Structure 1
Amino acid sequence: MVQAMSAGMVHTQESVIPVEYREVTDHLFVHLLQGNGEAARQELRKLAEYLGIEEEYSLFTSYPLGDEKIQKMLLHFRNNLELLIHKTWVEKADESHKDRLLERIPAFIQVLEVGNYQKALSQFVVILSELAYLFFGAQAHKSDFVEYAFRIDPSIGLFWWYGGALEGLSLEGLDTALLKSLLAIGICFITTF
């Protein structure tokens, strides 16, 4: 599924993704597909730099989850995510989306803290999808969503490109360090949002 998605992105990236980001977007998931974890981690570091979260990303990927610094970061992540959800204005009919998303956060944190990165990443993809819906409404499910997000702000567009790309990623065979690195991008971006 990622191959098909990657092929589609190559076709549309020239018109959607600004040139300065294409180096990462063209290579990151190709390295994952090829099983080149170290090259993928290097691309993730570049992505963190482009998103302005290189310091947080480096911290999160360098320390074990039980470390006080990481626990503090996870607390900030949770608080910021909950604040974003609470502050998002939605129609009355969409209030249930907010409630469901708020209910997912403690389970996600718990799975993450026990080190089940594969399950945590799967849960995180759902969280990102629901968060995109809360922020952008039905636009988040349209084929031109990433282009729309880039028009709002390049770093927001890059982040939602990343979140969308994670949806099609097969997690089978990815090592623990790579799974943690994939999670770190989203956690650190939302922590600093």
Structure 2
Amino acid sequence: FKIRLKKVIITLAFFDMPESGILIKQFHSICRKSLLAGIISPATPEYAWNATSGAVEKLLLLVLEPGPIPIKQIPRSVEFNKRYGEFWGEKARKKLSCHGAGCAYDAVYVLVKAMEKAGTKDADKVVKELEKIDMNGVVGRIRFSKEHQLIFGYDPKKSAIACIFQWKKPGVRVPVFPIAISEGDIELP
């Protein structure tokens, strides 16, 4: 209610609970001139448009691990979505959360590649090969820092990325950031 009275332009929300879908509907009904953005897990799957009766429209969401969102500039994310739907069914694919699925999918390929290059399952030898990994995955280019952390940036050809997408009519998730993967501009309420 205070948001509406104070004429807030943007509201950042970070929710992981299934009940946050109710918050989206409430926000949509009382704060039509404020942009809702953040990490709201129940709003990221493809089915969220129908589940909220379109209340996710114009919602900006940060996705830390692309993969469940097919991004044209990351062919492996498109392939992942297609394969997931073929294996588990379209209903399951449309409910695919943006937490972990992309990285988990990539992790299997990364580990197998490192084990093949090491020629063994010996942990020390596999780690040495993991340190050299340079491959494309559903999160972009996969390489690790000296601290063994995935390297993130803004261009999936150079690094792994997080992305921001916006829900647009007629229920489409449109990547809007980083610029290297953008398929549209941010629309304001």
The question of a shared fold, defined as TM-score above 0.5 by the shorter chain, is answered with no
- TM-score, with structure 2 as normaliser: 0.26
Select the structure of larger CA radius of gyration: 2
Higher relative contact order (CA 8 A, sep 6+): 1
Taking structure 1 as the reference length, the TM-score comes to 0.26
Higher strand share: 2
